[in-house]
Chain A
Amino acid sequence: MTLRLDDGGGLLGRAREHFDWLLFITVATLAVIGVINLYSATSVARGAHAEDYIQQIYWLVGGGILATVAAVIDYRHYERLGYAVYAVGVVLLLLVFILGREIRGSSRWIYIGSYSFQPSEFMKLFLVIALAKYLHDDPKSEGRTLKDLAVPAVIAAVPTALVMLQPDLGTGLILVLVFLSICALTRVQTRSLIWLGVVGLILAPVFWSYGLRGYQNERINAWLNPNVNVLGFNWDPHQARIAVGNGGWFGQGFMRGSQNQFMFLHEQHSDFPFPVFAEEWGFAGSLLLVGLYGLLVLWCLRVASMAKDRFGAVLAVGVGSIIFWHAVFNLGMATGLLPIVGVTLPLFSYGGSSVMTVLLGVGLVMNVSMRRFYASPSRTTQRLGL
C-alpha cells in the first residue's frame, strides 16, 4: 500500500490513543440488549422467525468488521469518494425496480444468490456522505439562501423520490428529515426559512391528498383516533400500547410479557421490538434504553462539534440524525405518539441492511471522533504564532 493512511506510527498512529470508548460502549450495549430482546421477541414465532436472533448476531459481527474498516481509514479519503458513493447508491435504488420482487405491494430488496439487501437503508448513509462532501466544498461566511441550498436539495430529492416510488414512506421520510437536519446545521437566511415554511405549509395538504397511498392515510386516521377500529388498522398500535403499559414500573420479566408471549404483538422483530422490551423491563428498563439512544445521539453531536473539518462535522451530525429520527419515530409509534410508519429501531430491529447501515455510520463517527485531535494546519500555524 503506497498510500499513507496516517501521519506516522502504524496503521492508526496517534488516533489509536483517542479511541472513543463511550461511543463504543453505548453502541455495544445497545447491540447486546437488542439481540437479547430479539431472542425474546421471536421466541413465540416458531418456525418463521425463530432463528432470527442468531442471524442478527451474524449481521452485527459483519457490521462490526465493516465499521472497523470504516473507522480505520481516515475519513478524508471518503470525502474524495463522496459523490461516487452517492452515485452507486442511486444506481442500486434504480436496480431495485429491475431486480426487486414485490412483497406486500412494494419492492425494496435486491437479491444476490440467497442473500438480499435493501439499498434504501445504505442510501441514508450515502446521502449523508454526499451532503457532507457538498457542504465541505461550499463554505459560506454569510447566511445561505434558497439558491445555495438548491444543489443539496436535489441531492436529497433524487433518492427520496426513488424510495417513495418503491413505495417506502418510512425511509423516504427519514431521508427528508436527515436532509433537513443537516440543513439545520448550516446558517440559512431568515427570509429563506420563511419561504421554506410557507411552501411546506402549502405542499402538506397536497401531499396528504395525492402523495399518500390509501393505507397510509388509514394509518394516520387510526393514529388520530386510537380507540377506533382496534381490530383493524389500530390493532398494532393498540396492542403495542397495552404491552408498553403492561410493563409497569419494573416490567414482567424476561420472556414473560404476555402481550408478546401470546402473540398480540405483530412485527415484533421489525417494527415493534420496543413494546416487547418495555413489557419485560418496565419503565426502569425503558428509561435506560431511551437514555442510551439519547446519549448516542448527543455524543454524535459532540463528536461533530469537535470535528476538525466540515466533512467530519456533517458526517457525525448526519449519522446522529439517522439514529435520532429512527429512534424517535419508532419509539413514538410504539407508544402512540406518532402514526405507524415502517421505521426500524436501530440495533433492535431485525435486518441485515439496517444493522450494517447503523454500524457503518457509527464507524464513521468513530473515525471522526478519533481524529478530532489532529492539529489542523491553520491552527498549528496559529499556535506556533503565539
Chain B
Amino acid sequence: MSNLLLPRSDVGEFRRRYKWMALGAFLAFVVIVGRLFQLQALDGAEYATIAHENIIRRVVLPTTRGVIRDAYGKVLASSRPSYDVEIVPGRVMPSARPVRYRNGLPVARDPDSWPKLAEVLRLNPEEKRTFEARVRAACVSDEDKSPCWHTPILVREDVSRDIVAELKQHHDELAGVDVVGVPVRFYPYKDLGAHMLGYVAEVDSETLLKYRPKGYEDLAREEQQRANPLGYEAGDTVGATGIERAWESYLRGQRGWEKRVVDARGRYRSGPETEQLVDAPPRMDPIPGRDLRLSIDVELEQAIERAMRPHAAGAAVVVDVRTGRLLALYSKPDFDPNDLSGGAGRARVREAYNRMYADPLRPMLDKTMSGAFQPGSTMKPFSALAGLEDHVIDPDHTEKCEGYVVFGRRVFRCSHVHGKVRLHDAIARSCNVYFFHLAETVGMDRIARVAQAFGLGDKTGLGINPEAPGRIPTRSWYALRYRGQFRVGFTLNMAIGEGDVTVTPLQLATAYAAIANGGTLYQPQVVRAVETSDGAVVQEFPPRIRRQVPIAPDNLRRVTDALYDVVNDPSGTAYPARDPTLDVAGKTGTAQTGYVVKKEDDAKMAWFLSQNHAWFSSFAPAHNPEIAVTVLVQHGGSGPEVAVPVAMQIVHEYERLQAVRAGRAPSAKSPPGRPGPRP
C-alpha cells in the first residue's frame, strides 16, 4: 500500500517518441489501405472475373456416336454403357491416412470400406494386395492434404450389371465408391464384317497435336474453335479403321456443355443460389451422331462366314450388279472390334493387338480391298474380250492344247490336255494354251486396256479402308521395271492372270458385275443412307456409274455364254462343284502364289503358304443377273474345288433370303435357258 504513494517513475525519456511511433503505425496502415484500394477498387473487376472462373466449370455433355445398321435394320455397331468402378482412396481406406488432429486430439476415422468393396468386386487376394500397394505408394505423403486422397482412381473397368446392382445395394457401406457409366462401342455381331465396320480407339497424340498445337490452351475460345473445329480432346474415341473411320464426321456428333458451379475440391453445387452465379449462356445441347444405313446384308455375311469356316484365310465380295452397292464384304481371318474398342479394358486391347500383329495370316488386313492378289484364270474373260473387241481373234478359230506350249526357251503349262479348243471351250474349260496363243496375237497393251476399262488395277474409290491399287502391267510398265528386253512370256502370264497382274477381290467383283450388267461399271458403295437417330433420312446415296465400258454386246454375250458353261456344261471347270438348283455363271481361278520358302519357316506354315490361291468370280442369276460374287480362298488350292462351293453357298443363301423376304417359300429353280446380260 505504501509503495503506491511513492514518487512515480519519470516518463520524460519516452515523451519524444510517441509522435514518431504514431506516425510509423499510421503509415503502415496507410500502406495496407493503399494495397486494398489497388486490389479492390482498381483491380476489383479483374479479380471478380478470376473468382467467377474459379467456381464455374464447363461440364462436357457427351454426345452419342451414331448407330450403324445393315440394309434390313439390324444393328451392326452401337454404343452401350460400360460401368467402371472408381474409388476415392481417402474415403475408402481412411486407415492409410495420417492421423488428423483437432484441438490437439486425434480425430476419429471412419472404418475402411475397402474390404467390403473387394468382396463385392470379387478381387482375389493377389489383386487386392496389388491395388492396396498402388494406393499407398501413390498417396504416401505426410501432408494429409495430398490431393491423391481425394482424387478418384479406377479400380475395375466394365464390371457386370450384377456387380453394379450389388454395389448399389451396399451403397451405405461403401463410402467413397463410385460407379461411372462410360459409353463403349459395341458390335453385336462381334468379328463379323469387322474389317468393313472397323473399330474405334482413343484419339492418338498425333491427331491431338494436329488439332491442339502448342499454346492451344491459351487461345481464346473462338480461336480454339477455329484451330480444332472437330473439338477432339484427349480421351475421345475416334474411328480407327473401316466405316468407323471413313464416316467419322457423320457418326461422331458434337458434344455440348453445361456450366456448373463447383467448389475448390471440384464438387458440384446445386440449388437456386448457385444458379444465379452461372452466366449466360448456361448450356449448349449436344448433337447426337448420325446413324448409317449400309447396303450390307448381315445375314448374307453370316452365310459367308459359315461357308468359309473350313478355310484359314480369304475374302468374299458380293455386289449388286444393278447398282454397285455392296451386299457383303468379308475378310478372313478377322478380329473382334469389341476387344479393340476398349470396352473390355486396356489390357484386353493390348493383348488383342499383340496377337493380331504376330499372326502370319494378317487378321488386321482387309483382304477385300487392302490386299492385291494374282487373279489367275479369272482374268481370262478380259483377255478374251480384248481379242474380240479389236477383231484380232476369230472366236471359232481352234487351237490344239497338248498340255503345254513352248515359247522361246520356256515351257508354259496348261492344267490338262484339252485337245482342240475354241474360245468358248477355252474359257469354260480354262485352257491356258489357247490363251497363250491369244496373248501372243492380241498383245499385252490391248488386254491391259480392257482390264483397266473394267476397273482392274485401279482403286475403286470405295474409301472405307486403304485400297491396294493392284496392277495391270503394260509394256511401258515393263520397260520401266526391267532393263532387259521385253519378253513375250510376260504377255502370256498376264493373259492368264499370273506374273505381275494383281487385283483386289473388290475390283474383280465390280468388274464381273460390269460383265453381268452389260458393261456398266458402278462405283461400289457400302453406305446407303445417313439417318438421324429417330430414323429420318438425311442423305441418300444413289448409285454412281463410273463409266460405260465400250464393249460390243455381241462380244460380251460370247463371254457370258462361256462363263455360264464354266458352271453348267459338264466340261466346265466349276461343273463338279455346282449347285444344280442355282443359276450361276462365273470363272474359276487357281493362282500361283510364288511363295519362296525361307529357312526359318515353320514347315507346316511353309507348306500352307506355298499353296495356290483359289478363286471364283461369278454372277447370278446368270440369265438375269442381280449379284456378282467373288470368292478368294487364300492358299486354298484349286479354285474349282475350293472357291466354287463357297460361292455356291453364298448364292444359295442370297436366293433363299430373297425368297424369304419376298414372302415366298424358298424353292429350287429350274435351270433356265441361255443366259445373257439384259440390254
Contacts and interface: CB of A to CB of B under 8 A. Distances in A.
A239 B264 CA distance: 10
Interface in A309-342: 309-311, 313-314, 317, 320, 324, 328, 331-332, 335-337
Contacts of A137: 9
Contact of B39 (A80, A244, A313): A244
A244 B36 CA distance: 8
B472 interface: no
A358 to B, nearest CB: 17
Nearest to B42: A245
A101 B104 contact: yes
A307 interface: yes
Contact of B47 (A7, A104, A245, A309): A245
Contacts of B104: 101, 103, 109, 111, 116
Contact of B37 (A241, A259, A283): A283
Contact of B48 (A246, A313, A331): A246
A131 interface: no
Interface of A is mostly: helix
Given A243-B51, A246-B47, A377-B6, A337 B35 contact: yes
Contacts of B26: 294, 298
Nearest to A74: B4
A4 B4 CA distance: 10
Contacts of A136: 9
Given A245-B39, A317-B21, A262 B10 contact: no
A204 interface: no
A101 B104 CA distance: 7
A98 interface: no
Interface in A293-308: 293-294, 297-298, 301-302, 304-305, 307-308
State which size class the interface on B falls in.
35 or more
A242 B50 contact: yes
Contacts of A301: 18, 21-22, 25
A262 B54 contact: yes
Contacts, number: 175
B277 interface: yes
B28 to A, nearest CB: 5
B477 interface: no
Nearest to A264: B264
A367 B36 CA distance: 34
A48 B102 contact: yes
Interface in B24-68: 25-26, 28-29, 31-33, 35-37, 39-41, 43-48, 50-52, 54-55
Interface stretch (A159-167, A181-189, A206-214): A181-189
Contacts of B32: 290, 328, 331-332, 335, 337
A304 B29 CA distance: 20
A140 interface: yes
B271 to A, nearest CB: 11
Contacts of A48: 102
A262 B4 contact: no
B660 to A, nearest CB: 64
Nearest to B39: A245
B369 interface: no
24 contacts: A137-B9, A185-B17, A186-B14, A239-B54, A241-B47, A245-B48, A248-B41, A249-B41, A259-B51, A262-B55, A263-B264, A264-B51, A264-B54, A278-B36, A283-B37, A294-B26, A294-B29, A298-B25, A301-B18, A305-B15, A313-B14, A317-B14, A320-B25, A328-B28
Given A80-B3, A139-B9, 13 more contacts: A136-B9, A187-B13, A187-B17, A245-B50, A249-B41, A258-B54, A264-B51, A264-B264, A290-B29, A313-B14, A328-B28, A328-B32, A335-B32
